[in-house]
Amino acid sequence: MAYRVLIVDDEPILLKGLRYSLEQESYIVDTALDGEEALDKAITKEYDLIILDLMLPKIDGLEVCKKIRELSMIPIIMLTARGEDTSKILGLEYGADDYLTKPFNALELKARMKAVLRRVKAKEPISSGNILEIDDFSIHTLRRKVTLKGKEINLTAKEFDLLLLLALNPNKIYTREELLETIWGYEYFGDLRTVDVHIRRLREKIEENSSQPEYIKTKWGAGYYFRSKS
């Protein structure tokens, strides 16, 4: 299967180089030079992955990411300049699936892309129509939908994966390193804060009071776990 990728950056030379590199591995590549063009293409065309620079003309990358997330769960990898730690966290808050710091090696970008696409596209449910019922949750692994007390909860791909993993193993404590390796699919890339940000976002969606969570609990100094009532 040839994946369709949109690369958004205001540097024409970088776009040309990435396009050539990705096309050598059979990706179908489209490009955009500013946030306005990126939004227009993301809305009107279909892509499997978006590579999105943070600093863009017309509409910045964070706002583009936010607007895309209002319409679609398409995976997004954000590109940030070295030292932009706050922007990295904001990117994850706005729904980015991963981020990469410039300057970067094309091989690392490809590894990130493959990890994201593998998680999103190659998930095999245990059986057709498999549904996990636990406490107040109904988790449909085929449709990748979650209902809580009968109300559907809109989760990103990573939030769904986190909830499913924890719910499948109630009361088992996962370290941040284990969650990063299991959910994000790579052991050496990435930042442990990525896990914390996604756990916080997940709690904000499923907990009545995210500061005093009922479902996703923290074991201080150890990690996170799903506390089952049963």
- 195-205 per-position pLDDT tens digit: 899 999 999 99
| Model pLDDT for residues 137-191, shown as the tens digit of each residue | 988 876 788 999 999 999 988 899 899 989 888 888 999 888 887 887 654 455 7
Report the number of distinct structural domains present in the chain. 2
CB 109 within 8 A of CB 51: yes
Considering the domain architecture, whether residues 136 and 113 belong to the same structural domain is answered as: no
Domain range enclosing 49: 4-121
The reported pLDDT for the residue numbered 193 is 83
**CATH number assigned to the domain comprising residue 194:** 1.10.10.10
Task: Out of 39-48, 68-77, 78-87, give the one with best mean pLDDT.
Answer: 39-48
Considering the domain architecture, whether residues 141 and 194 belong to the same structural domain is answered as: yes
Torsion region of 135: left, alpha or beta (phi above 0 gives left; psi -120 to 50 gives alpha): left
The reported pLDDT for the residue numbered 187 is 46
H or E stretch at 93: helix 85-93
| Model pLDDT for residues 11-22, shown as the tens digit of each residue | 999 999 999 999
Q: Which residue has the higher pLDDT, 67 or 124?
A: 67
Considering the domain architecture, whether residues 162 and 114 belong to the same structural domain is answered as: no
Considering the domain architecture, whether residues 103 and 141 belong to the same structural domain is answered as: no
Considering the domain architecture, whether residues 98 and 174 belong to the same structural domain is answered as: no
**DSSP string spanning 136-189?**
TEEEETTTTEEEETTEEE---HHHHHHHHHHHHSTT--B-HHHHHHHHH--SSS
| Model pLDDT for residues 90-121, shown as the tens digit of each residue | 677 777 888 888 888 888 899 889 888 877 65
Q: Is the pLDDT of residue 60 over 80?
A: yes
Domain boundary among 121, 141, 173: 121
| Coil/strand/helix, residue 55 | coil
Considering the domain architecture, whether residues 153 and 50 belong to the same structural domain is answered as: no
**How far is Cα 228 from Cα 92, in angstroms, rounded to an integer?**
28
CA distances from 185 to 21, 59, 158, 220 (A): 22, 31, 11, 24
CA distances from 14 to 17, 64, 215 (A): 5, 19, 44
| 78 found inside a domain | yes
**How far is Cα 100 from Cα 157, in angstroms, rounded to an integer?**
18
Q: Which two tokens stand for residue 50?
A: 């978006």
- 207 alpha carbon, distance to own chain's centre: 20
| 141 found inside a domain | yes
Considering the domain architecture, whether residues 33 and 8 belong to the same structural domain is answered as: yes
For residue 68, name the pLDDT band (cuts at 50, 70, 90).
confident
